[in-house]
Amino acid sequence: QDRFSLHLYSVNGKHLSSVPLDEEVTAMCLTEEFVVLGTMQCGLEIRDLQNLRAAVPPVPMRVPVHSVSVTKEKSHILVGLEDGKLIVVGAGQPAEV
């Protein structure tokens, strides 16, 4: 039995996909292509919205994540941490960031 999981549903309520998660999700933000997750265990995950697979390896934070947001241009991810710090993570290709 999985302790945490992420489920994807269509707008009509059809279950499309699900994945087990190793960490407790404390923050989530959606874009047209990705779901960005922040976890209590100090992780930042970016997953493909179509199949919920990890798009990039998890990005470790040093303290639990309380909020995540993606900028309007989708060039950066803003991560609010439990200790009050705001971390800015580049979301594009290395040449773009």
* pLDDT at residue 93, rounded to an integer: 58
pLDDT at 97: 43
User: Average pLDDT of 32-52?
Assistant: 94
> What's the pLDDT tens digit per position in 67-80?
999 999 989 999 99
DSSP three-state, residue 74: coil
Name the residue among 86, 90, 80 with its Cα closest to residue 27. Answer: 80
Q: Quick one: what percent of the chain has pLDDT higher than 70?
A: 92
Mean residue pLDDT of the chain comes to: 90
pLDDT at position 91 is: 76
User: Is 1 a residue whose pLDDT tops 60?
Assistant: no
The residues spanned by each domain of the chain are 5-90
Residue 96 has pLDDT above 80, yes or no: no
Check: CATH 2.40.128.630 for 5-90? Answer: yes
